[in-house]
Amino acid sequence: MSLAAINEQLLRAIGVGVAVVRASDLTFVFHNQPFAEWFGTPGPGATLPEVMEALDPEELGQQQGEGLRYSAELQIKLKRRTLVFAVNISSADQPEEQLLVVECQNITRMRELESMIDSYSTMVERNTRELEREKERVERLLLNLMPRSVYEEFKTFGVVTPQLYPQISVVMLDFVDFTDFAARTDPTITLGELNDIFTAFDRIVEQYGCERIKTIGDAYLAVAGMPEPTPDHATAVAHCATRFLRYLERRNESHQHTWRARIGLGTGAAVGSVVGIQKYVYDVFGPAVNLASRLQVFAKPMHIVAPETMKAALSEEFHVSDIGPTEIKGLGAVDLVSVGSELSAPQAARRY
């Protein structure tokens, strides 16, 4: 078999559509089987643009003049299905006459798969975004239950190691006659008011770098000095305490229901940890917490009571007056002080 015969055999057998046309009038010299299947068998005297209707004859003409290769992507419908072809036309100079070789690769499947990948990635990306949002929602929820640093530890290790903080301060607030109030008021209103007030407290607490630990019914507990240690934990809780009272005073002026609170401060050591496996609660335990909760009981309505040990730290920024030794259940005699308004506060309300 001669080389030319082999070449012709090859052109007929390959899966690429091949046609050879005369450059002069674009009539066919040769076409193979795949070409005929896709574009139909060219009749006698048919030209390339007649057979491949999607081909732009003008564009082809331009390219031809410059003797360049022509490449295009063509779409045809064959029995409802969209077929996509990459068409290459190049000129082949023969001694007798100039010919154009038309090569058509079927890239339908490639384009179909590309479409499918697009479709799939859209689905997956949307799902990923939804998951991301869900994760943020869970994270926000967990951050309401525990301080960020504790949450980070929890996320990384799956557990939180109880940690002892030797020097922290605690503010504990409890409303006067709350039980009475709750008994004679619609629970929805009680809760609405409480929610309102505690939300305001949360903002105050955040402003002074403290951490709200929990509310138990009408009691509100916040700490300073944990999980991030700060040297001014005592003044931080005292600032919160005075602001809590000032907020309530202001609120009482314009609201129907009057809220009065007692506040106890405490200082000392405490342990912070997540308690529970299924129902996580970040909680604090220790003498500082006990102290604040006991002293709160001793406070007159709308007053703040602190142990004498905090006096030195507080007297620089607050009006502090001595109450004297008081017998406290479980703690024995404790020297107490009353914490008044901030020294620098412009509108110093007289509380004692």
Partner 1 sequence: MPQTLYEKYGGFKTISRIVMTFYEMALDSDQIGDYFADVDMPRLIDHQTKFISSLMGGPASFSDDRLEAVHRALGISHADFDEMAALLSEALADHGVGATDVGLVLEAIEGKRGIIVARSAA
Q: What letters, b where the CB count within 10 A reaches 16 and e where it falls short, cover 88-114? A: ebebeeeeeeebbbbbbbbebeebeee
DSSP-assigned states of every residue in 138-185: HHHHHHHHS-HHHHHHHHHHSS---EEEEEEEEEEEEETTHHHHHHHS
Nearer to partner 1, 114 or 196 (CB): 114
Distance CA 78, CA 99 (A): 28
Residue 164 touches partner 1, criterion: CB under 8 A: no
> Which residues, 6+ apart, have CB-to-CB distance to 33 below 8 Å?
12
Stretch that binds partner 1, among 123-131, 234-242, 279-287, 321-329 (CB under 8 A): 123-131
Figure out which of the listed residues 127, 144, 195, 258 binds partner 1, where binding follows CB under 8 A.
127
Chain residues 51-110 in contact with partner 1, contact rule CB under 8 A: 77, 79-82, 84
Q: How far is the CB of 121 from partner 1 (least distance, A)?
A: 10
Q: How far is the CB of 81 from partner 1 (least distance, A)?
A: 5
Q: How far is the CB of 244 from partner 1 (least distance, A)?
A: 46
Chain residues 102-121 in contact with partner 1, contact rule CB under 8 A: 111-113, 115-116, 118-120
Q: How far is the CB of 88 from partner 1 (least distance, A)?
A: 22
Could you list the beta-strand ranges (E) of 12-162: 17-22, 28-31, 70-78, 81-93, 98-106
Figure out which of the listed residues 10, 54, 92, 123 binds partner 1, where binding follows CB under 8 A.
123
Nearer to partner 1, 109 or 257 (CB): 109
Distance CA 88, CA 100 (A): 10
Q: Residues in contact with partner 1, total (CB under 8 A)? A: 19
Q: How far is the CB of 75 from partner 1 (least distance, A)?
A: 8
Task: Report in angstroms the alpha-carbon separations of 186 from 114, 190, 191, 271.
Answer: 63, 6, 9, 38
Binding residues (CB under 8 A) for partner 1: these are: 77, 79-82, 84, 111-113, 115-116, 118-120, 122-124, 126-127
